[in-house]
């Protein structure tokens, strides 16, 4: 993804700052390489981040999410595959991997800590559901322009393209 778009996300959502991801995990794909997706999926990623941010806000807790990887995942129907083609690729979709920071408030009392832990677990479940929702949405979103697309093959490249970008 273009660095300008990545920076827009980092300005809007603190958990999208690559330096904090790299500080938490020096081997983080996101911290080291950024968003390994094309610009057409920017809108999907922005919407996902907005919903994650809202989940934290609704729970009344500070974001402790650390992004580990943003990229593309494909699954191949490996039975009798001699050559990789669009026909034997099952899907091509957005991946968003994360973990929760282990930073604790050392001054928190046990009751408050239990409430925060419960809220964090609820937020994590919400985030996992959101990631699934946007993962599925990416399967039909053009990776180039963000329009409606389908899985197509051009030479050895297999991606989700709309008619115009595929042409």
State the total domains in the chain. Answer: 1
Q: Which of 152, 33, 149 is nearest to 89 (CA)?
A: 152
30 domain residue, yes or no: yes
Quick one: tokens of 111? 């009751």
On whether residue 166 sits in a domain, the answer given is no
- 58 in a structural domain: yes
Asked whether residue 158 is domain-assigned, the answer is: no
In a domain, 160, yes or no: no
pTM: 0.86
Whole domain around residue 57: which residue ranges?
3-140
pLDDT tens digits along 125-151 = 999 999 999 999 999 999 999 999 998
Mind listing the pLDDT tens digit for each residue in 16-36?
Answer: 999 988 888 888 999 999 999
Does some domain include residue 149?
A: no
Which of 44-58, 96-110, 118-132, 145-159 shows the lowest mean pLDDT across its residues?
96-110
Answer whether residue 164 is part of any domain: no
Facing residues of 118 across strands?
A: none
Task: Report residue 83 as tokens.
Answer: 């050559």
Interaxial angle between packed helices 42-59 and 3-12, expressed in degrees from 0 to 180 and rounded to the nearest 10: 10
- The answer to whether position 146 is within a domain reads no
Q: Classify residue 141 by its DSSP letter.
A: B
Query: Is the CB of residue 16 less than 8 Å from the CB of residue 67?
Result: yes
């Amino acid at each position: 993804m273009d660095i300008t778009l990545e920076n827009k996300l980092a300005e809007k959502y603190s958990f999208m700052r690559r330096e904090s991801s790299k500080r938490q995990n020096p081997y983080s794909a996101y911290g080291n390489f950024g968003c390994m997706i094309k610009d057409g999926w920017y809108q999907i990623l922005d919407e996902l981040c907005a919903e994650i941010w809202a989940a934290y806000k609704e729970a009344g807790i500070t974001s402790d999410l650390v992004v580990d990887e943003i990229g593309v995942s494909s699954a191949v129907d490996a039975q009798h595959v001699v050559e990789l083609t669009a026909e034997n690729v099952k899907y091509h979709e957005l991946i968003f991997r994360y973990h929760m920071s282990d930073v604790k408030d050392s001054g928190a009392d046990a009751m408050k800590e239990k409430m925060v832990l419960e809220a964090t677990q609820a937020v994590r479940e919400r985030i996992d559901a959101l990631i699934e929702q946007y993962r599925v949405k990416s399967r039909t979103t053009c990776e180039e322009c963000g329009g409606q697309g389908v899985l197509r093959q051009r030479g050895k490249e297999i991606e989700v393209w709309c008619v115009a970008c595929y042409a």
